[in-house]
Amino acid sequence: MHRKINACKAHFNLTEVKTGKANALDFQLVSYLGYLIAMAPKNDYFIVSQDKGFKSAVVFWKDRGINVALVSDLAGRDEDKVADQLTREVRALVGDPTTADKVVRVILKYKTKQGINNALVREFPSQDNKKASELYKAIKPLLKDKKGK
């Protein structure tokens, strides 16, 4: 990840943050973003995160004429577009829109293949876990960016 950051055109600063409480890091990051904007309001700013909680900060700054965007990775993929594309792909594989939407929520929530598999077992319980197993096999090609086997 550090190599990718160093290779990108963005300017960045490494800053030590204090954590410990829920959302402590998020609050510090958004506060620091406000500080940076105060120093250079004409710059473009990107929050690189898959945490949709940052959308409120993006809207806040956009309403004030500041160019802030939430992207899901260093390639600059828009989080909403990523979710929409994933929904289309899962619906094509799964068929049933209600089931597909539940599967998409699971994929977006968990960072590992094991976490996704476990969540599918909980979301689609059965004695032999057949439904969850079938769903996981169907979506596995979409999980290339997730950690694990």
pTM equals 0.56
pLDDT per residue as tens digits for the range 43-86: 989 888 878 889 999 999 999 999 998 887 766 666 777 788 88
CA 65/CA 128 separation, integer angstroms: 54
| Strand runs labelled E in the chain | 45-48, 68-71
Q: Which helix (H) or strand (E) holds 7?
A: helix 2-7
Angstrom distance (rounded) from CA 110 to CA 86:
14
6 burial class (0-12, 13-18, 19+ CB within 10 angstroms)?
A: exposed
Phi, psi (rounded to 5 degrees) for 112: -120, 155
Q: Where are the domains of the chain?
A: 2-71, 79-143
Residue 11: pLDDT over 90:
no
Q: What is the pLDDT of residues 109-138, one digit of tens each?
A: 888 888 899 999 999 998 898 999 999 999
Q: What is the pLDDT of residue 3?
A: 75
Q: What pLDDT was estimated at residue 1?
A: 63
SS3 at position 147: strand
Q: 70-98: b or e for each residue (b if 16 or more CB lie within 10 Å)?
A: bbbeeeeeebeeebeebbebbbebbeeee
- What's the average model confidence in pLDDT over 32-50? 91
